[in-house]
Structure 1
Amino acid sequence: MALARLRTRRLQFGMLFLVTVLGCALALSALALRSAASGPWEQLFAETNGAHVTVEATSSDAVTDAARRPEVAAGTAVTARHLAAVEVDGRALGIELVRAPQRERMSVDRPAVRDGRWLARDDEAVLEMTMADTLGVRVGDRIRVGGREPVTLTVVGTASTAGRGGNYPAVKPGVAWVGGATFDGLELARDGVPIQFTIGLRLHDPDGADALAAALEADSQWPERKAWTADTDKFEATIAAEIMRVIVLGFTVLLLLAAVLLVFILLGSRVAGESRQAALLQIIGVTPRQLSLVLAVEHGIIALAGATVGTFVALAVAPLLARTAASGLGTVPPTLSPTQIAIVGGVAVVAAALAGALAAIRLGRVGLAAVARGATASRRSRLSGLAATLSLPAWFVLGVKDAFTRRGRAVLIVLSLALALLTTVVVLTAGSSINAAQVVDTAVTRDGTLATPPAELPAMPPGAVASAGVLDLFRVLQVLLSFVALANLLAAALMSARERARELGVLEATGFSSRHLLAAAATSHGLLAVPAAVIGLPLGFVMVAGITADVGGTVYPGPGQIALVVLGGVAVAGLVAALPVLAQQRRPLAHALLVE
């Protein structure tokens, strides 16, 4: 019986299948993104054997002295750093060049090569990965670095570091490693700014990092010496990742909630549409337990197929989402374990089977006599009575009645629209805030060249903002959530048109024109957009305030933008509601009566 019903109810089951695909794909993608956004710096710190304390001074003796402390277990070779100029796409930018020591001497804070290879010759350079991605530089490209006598270097690789310089452009300037001969040949210190020497230290007791850093800076013998701990590097490198985790968690909850709303819309439609058949089945001997098994098997089969397809969708989508937000997620690729896939698929199948059993329980409570009396018919709403009293157009009265008659479905539609409006406000606010936060040095003209002192060059090009990855992920997730909300509206409209096929045919036969019926359908969902805006817009502002509480500089959308969002929601809701009615009108009244 379950297999036979799957063949005869393709529309309903097709929508349940799509819901399951969306739900599993979203859940698995969220888990994959969470794995990429959870602890990327810690994983990179372990991979590169990062430094617990980093020491910087203008004297190599000052940093060498720090390495002699008894707390120190190991250290890097003394590394020279200096601000330089690099030419990218014809525009000069500031960059920090690092005189890379020999690879075998980099046991601590050893950059992890991501693409290409490490330095082998003097005419080569390795760029920090997030900087290379932001600037569009690839392995094999050539860049010009220097001042009065610039040199052309070939980018042979990109690398990640848990130390200073990771997560460009959130942390500026970017970092490039060059060979010793190249660094020395540029004579960077001739601009009057001394070369900075750094050393990374691993401690016997990492918990003593703060105390050692404070002691090194308090040493009067080296007053110019600075020291900071790995926690400082972590804070700078993971600001965007922490924001990303909040975004992923919040949007994942909203997406799954939207999918749950769609399941309830379809479940309620099945209860309303199959009451007669369920009552007849019970009369011919089908027990409530058997009916529950039938619907549970139906939903379980659909969920199993949907979970399988959703897994493949997640495996394809999650890396794309992570790459879109690479500047915020760091360098750890998203992964999905077989356990996670099995758990999400199992939950989907069990939840679908329970939903089917719940539908059977509700159907079993409705007897044939109650169905014949119209016990499942909709109730007249008070608002439609008020609209009729005010002598408003008949199509408007009908739209009001359709909007609020089935109150449970109306609540689900309102919540779906509210979620879509909420995320729209979040994306608009994020876009306005990020665009306002773009940092461009207006004192430097486009005529800046490699001969311009590096300190006067911008640290990043116009349009490259620290939160670009965050905004991109906002937009992608908002599109996904809008798609699910649109599916909710379409499902509700399809189920409503199917349940009211006879009513629509009778209305048209008694004088209602097609235009009036379409206007009534559009009014029914359009009216529901009003309470959705009342709920969704304030929640959107609250969500933005929570995400940006520690960031500041939030630019909220103006009244004009909010009005356009609300009008857009009303228009889309009305259009979606009118489409199934337009399709239903092509069928004669006799067809509706035959189905009934």
Structure 2
Amino acid sequence: MRATLRWAHADFRAHRGEALFVVLASAGIIASLLLAGALFGYAANPWQRVFNQSHGAHIWLHTGAGADTAALSRVDGVAALSGPYRTTATTVESRGARVGVTLRAAATVPPETARPLVTDGNWLAGPDSTGTGAVVLEASVARALWAEPGDTVRVTGPDGAPHALRVSGIAEVAEPRYHPGGGPGIGWVLDDTLDEVAHGDTGQSVGLRLQDPDDTDFTVQRAVTVLGADRVAQVTKWQQARAEAGGDDRLLGQMFAVFGLGALLAAALAAAGAIGARVRGQLRDIAILKAVGFTPGQVTRGFLVQHLAFALLGVTLGTAAIALLGARIPGRIGEATAVWQDLPGHTALMIGIPCGAVLLIAAATGLSAWRAGRVPPVPVARAALPSAAPMTALGRRALGTRVPPALVLGWRAAFPRRGRTLLPVARLALPLVLITVALVAWSTLDQFRSRPAQMGLPAALTVRAGQPAGASDAELERTLAEVPGVAAVHPGAEMAALVPGQTGTITLRGLGTARDPYPAKVVEGRAVSGPDEAVAGQGLLDLLGVRVGAWVRMTVEGRPQILHVVGRTIEPESGGRVITTTIDALRERDPGLRPEFHALVLREGADPETVSAALAGAAAGTLEVRETPNPVDRLEPARAVIAALIAVLALIGLIELLTLIGTGVRDRGRDLLALKAIGLTPRQIGAMIVTAAGLTALASAVVGTTVGVLSGRWLVDTQGASSGIGAGIAQLPPLPVLSMVIVGAVLGAVVAAALPATRAARRRPADSLSETL
């Protein structure tokens, strides 16, 4: 054992550069994986991120104005209080949209506990020069109102008097978000502004942060007892808010789990390649060791101990760098790393990822060390073997026709033999496959935003009559159609229906008429064209276990409705458990059915906010205008994470590329000596090495992007089908983007190979003589 350790120490001193590269490669891979874990936690658990950043409250109690909330601080298990805040119920209107909002009176400085996180604009300030008070809106309320900082909204208090307030900021909180048909949203104003809106008609809200979140139910009982059950109007618990955001967590979690596994596999292959390359580079030393008496076991143990030490050092450096400096990285990566420290699972990942990486590196090292123990002790036998494939007839013909030797020899070096060609191309293609899959996910999100009609959202606005109107339905439709920017008006009605056996509830929707059907996005089958025909979402087909072409019987308000499913549509709402027919078909069951709402399809290029404001003016405020919910709003955090993930994968690919280039230059040492002997100039030799690296990268990029496009489409469509939206939503990246990936990979290989090529070209034949032994 002593001789093994002495040889390992001597080998380290003789090959410090290679050892440093292995250590840095291990550190870079571990840092990349930890950053990927931080990004996954940041994006896949948005509610927990906001809760930790805002030091959120586990319980919110909504009470009457006279409740003594100060006594809650003495309840066992309560760590801190947020508030109490005076509150009042209001209605906020902007651009024709109307939202119920509970206004809270807050100070000019946000509270420490349950602090609203201002994402756009500023926190509350005093009245401006016109005397208009300020309001900060919760993000989901701002989206429903199309409100931005600087806009003016109309607030109607309990007495019905309107008040104009200026939106000073938009904030996120770890409380239930606003959604149409649900509870009211949240807004914050100063005390004076609340007095003007409410005129003394206020309640109270107080948030409780607990020492142990598991004691929520018990603490609620104690708090209600202290305040009095008659004084508590509503209780909101943190589990409720997290459950409402659970769908987003699951969708994002599944999306990034695929990337995480792929990144781990790519990192493992890169680490194994770096270690294997170093072992192959010392075959001559291994042969000499065996010649002087080292056994195969001693050689294996020596390499295993040495590279495990390098792996542990690299893993320690990478983990320490992320733990100490990760939060200081500028941009979203640094923010994600800082927040990740407080998210669930942080400790497990900080321990599990390095330990898993050490095990993978140990396995790769053990295999390479075992191969090193089987190296024959006669180096001449190895020298007699050809290091590359013989020149083919096509290559000789190309040289004879004055094709540049660097191109011909570079092609020969890049693709020597079938087995030796496929492995490096496949290893380098894996990160490019994952990058292309990420680009497919990015393009799909962009498609939801830029071309919603192609993703099952042709109607940008939904209009409901806010109060009984004297005009008939036909007159209302004509009024809506005359608004600039409106291309089509489709009357609609929506109701709950029981599936056969009455074991579940689905959404039955009548939209459009037989003469003017609704332009649903049909991806399988055909659109509705006759009586009793309907299209359905993937979630409904899965629930009933039927396919396109089946007849479906359901019960609506005690009466049967039988429809023929002629097509499958992309259905982002209600988990895809929606069946859509014409409103004429529903009137066959209920002749007195009137439209509950109207779906508006806008002209190309029309701005929904502008059209909404025009609708509010055309109908004198009698309409409630809402923007059609877009599922991409819930996935906005994924954009920045996908961009950062591409950077992490590019780093892993760069490490793999450097390993391949270094291995190629070393393995072709005897070839370079022979080429110099027959008259090739240093510039031609350098060009040959760069060309070989570029061709390998080109082949890997073409394979990686092709496989990535196919697998990315399959993964996105599979995810869409499992979520109920349905397959057919995957959008491929534009051809220029895929071309940029290929060009970027080739340019990266050329730049990375420039320095090794220069060094190899400047070496003298005498320096390379030892490589022939």
| Range of TM-score over shorter length | 0.5 to 0.7
> Which letter maps to 2:29?
G
> Which letter maps to 1:258?
A
- For residues 130-181 of structure 1, what are the alpha-carbon distances to aligned partners after superposition, in whole Å with 9 as ceiling and x for unaligned? 8899x9x99xx998653674246877x9562332339xxxx99974234787
Aligned to 1:98: 102
Which SS does the other structure have where 1:98 is aligned?
strand
Aligned to 2:609: 444
Which SS does the other structure have where 1:280 is aligned?
helix
Following superposition, the deviation at residue 507 of structure 1 comes to: 0.8
Q: Are the aligned partners of 1:130 and 1:326 in contact in 2 as well (CA < 8 Å)?
A: no
What is the alpha-carbon distance in structure 2 between the residues aligned to residue 318 and residue 409 of structure 1?
42
What is the alpha-carbon distance in structure 1 between the residues aligned to residue 297 and residue 666 of structure 2?
28
> Which letter maps to 1:164?
R
What is the alpha-carbon distance in structure 1 between the residues aligned to residue 427 and residue 141 of structure 2?
39
Cα gap change, 1:356/1:261 in structure 2, threshold over 3 Å: closer, same or farther?
A: closer
Q: TM-score, normalised by structure 2?
A: 0.54
> Which letter maps to 1:150?
A
**Correspondence for 1:24 among 26, 30, 52:** 30
Q: Are the aligned partners of 1:403 and 1:528 in contact in 2 as well (CA < 8 Å)?
A: no
Which SS does the other structure have where 2:383 is aligned?
coil
Greater helix share, structure number: 1
Which SS does the other structure have where 1:150 is aligned?
strand
Cα gap change, 1:530/1:540 in structure 2, threshold over 3 Å: closer, same or farther?
A: same
Aligned to 1:112: 114
Which SS does the other structure have where 1:444 is aligned?
helix
Which SS does the other structure have where 2:115 is aligned?
strand
Q: Are the aligned partners of 1:380 and 1:401 in contact in 2 as well (CA < 8 Å)?
A: yes
**Correspondence for 1:164 among 158, 170, 177:** 177
Gap runs ≥5 in structure 1? 55-75, 104-110, 189-197, 199-205, 207-227
1:496 aligns with 2:657: no
1:484 aligns with 2:491: no
Q: Are the aligned partners of 1:418 and 1:537 in contact in 2 as well (CA < 8 Å)?
A: no
> Which letter maps to 1:476?
A
1:5 aligns with 2:11: yes
What is the alpha-carbon distance in structure 1 between the residues aligned to residue 367 and residue 720 of structure 2?
41
What is the alpha-carbon distance in structure 1 between the residues aligned to residue 644 and residue 183 of structure 2?
26
Which SS does the other structure have where 2:762 is aligned?
coil
What is the alpha-carbon distance in structure 1 between the residues aligned to residue 376 and residue 284 of structure 2?
8
> Which letter maps to 1:15?
F
1:359 aligns with 2:363: no
Q: Are the aligned partners of 1:425 and 1:540 in contact in 2 as well (CA < 8 Å)?
A: yes
Cα gap change, 1:555/1:280 in structure 2, threshold over 3 Å: closer, same or farther?
A: same
Q: Are the aligned partners of 1:83 and 1:96 in contact in 2 as well (CA < 8 Å)?
A: yes
**Correspondence for 1:385 among 371, 378, 392:** 392
1:538 aligns with 2:540: no
Q: Give identity over the alignment, percent.
A: 26
Q: Are the aligned partners of 1:387 and 1:397 in contact in 2 as well (CA < 8 Å)?
A: no
> Which letter maps to 1:586?
R
Aligned to 1:215: none
> Which letter maps to 2:412?
K
Q: Are the aligned partners of 2:138 and 2:186 in contact in 1 as well (CA < 8 Å)?
A: yes
> Which letter maps to 2:282?
E
Following superposition, the deviation at residue 343 of structure 1 comes to: 4.2
Aligned to 2:479: none
What is the alpha-carbon distance in structure 2 between the residues aligned to residue 448 and residue 410 of structure 1?
63
Structure-to-structure mapping, 1:19-418, within 5 angstroms: 19-33=25-39, 41=47, 48-49=57-58, 81-84=89-92, 97-100=101-104, 112-113=114-115, 127-128=137-138, 146=154, 149-151=163-165, 160-165=173-178, 175-178=186-189, 182=193, 185-186=196-197, 237-315=245-323, 316-317=325-326, 333-334=342-343, 340-369=349-378, 371-374=380-383, 377-378=386-387, 380=389, 385=392, 387-388=394-395, 391=398, 393=403, 394-405=405-416, 410-418=421-429
- For residues 29-60 of structure 1, what are the alpha-carbon distances to aligned partners after superposition, in whole Å with 9 as ceiling and x for unaligned? 444455556666589699755699x9xxxxxx
- For residues 249-298 of structure 1, what are the alpha-carbon distances to aligned partners after superposition, in whole Å with 9 as ceiling and x for unaligned? 22222222222222232233233321111111122122333322322222
Cα gap change, 1:281/1:102 in structure 2, threshold over 3 Å: closer, same or farther?
A: closer
What is the alpha-carbon distance in structure 2 between the residues aligned to residue 467 and residue 339 of structure 1?
26
RMSD: 5.4
Following superposition, the deviation at residue 23 of structure 1 comes to: 2.9
What is the alpha-carbon distance in structure 1 between the residues aligned to residue 675 and residue 184 of structure 2?
70
Larger radius of gyration between Structure 1 and Structure 2: 2
Cα gap change, 1:433/1:159 in structure 2, threshold over 3 Å: closer, same or farther?
A: closer
Cα gap change, 1:386/1:180 in structure 2, threshold over 3 Å: closer, same or farther?
A: farther
Cα gap change, 1:580/1:541 in structure 2, threshold over 3 Å: closer, same or farther?
A: farther
Following superposition, the deviation at residue 428 of structure 1 comes to: 3.4
> Which letter maps to 1:582?
T
What is the alpha-carbon distance in structure 2 between the residues aligned to residue 162 and residue 154 of structure 1?
20
1:434 aligns with 2:459: no
More contact order relative to length (CA 8 Å, sep ≥ 6)? 1
Which SS does the other structure have where 1:285 is aligned?
coil
- For residues 527-559 of structure 1, what are the alpha-carbon distances to aligned partners after superposition, in whole Å with 9 as ceiling and x for unaligned? 444444443432233333344444575432244
What is the alpha-carbon distance in structure 2 between the residues aligned to residue 456 and residue 326 of structure 1?
39
Aligned to 2:522: none
Q: Are the aligned partners of 2:332 and 2:640 in contact in 1 as well (CA < 8 Å)?
A: no
> Which letter maps to 2:668?
R
Q: TM-score, normalised by structure 1?
A: 0.68
1:585 aligns with 2:587: no
> Which letter maps to 1:587?
R
What is the alpha-carbon distance in structure 1 between the residues aligned to residue 695 and residue 340 of structure 2?
49
Q: Are the aligned partners of 1:32 and 1:334 in contact in 2 as well (CA < 8 Å)?
A: no
What is the alpha-carbon distance in structure 1 between the residues aligned to residue 96 and residue 135 of structure 2?
17
Structure-to-structure mapping, 1:513-528, within 5 angstroms: 513=681, 514-515=683-684, 517=688, 518-528=690-700
> Which letter maps to 2:23?
F
Corresponding residue pairs, total: 517
Gap runs ≥5 in structure 2? 1-6, 63-83, 108-112, 128-132, 156-161, 200-204, 206-216, 218-235, 451-459, 462-606
Q: Are the aligned partners of 2:22 and 2:274 in contact in 1 as well (CA < 8 Å)?
A: yes
Cα gap change, 1:4/1:435 in structure 2, threshold over 3 Å: closer, same or farther?
A: same
Cα gap change, 1:536/1:151 in structure 2, threshold over 3 Å: closer, same or farther?
A: closer
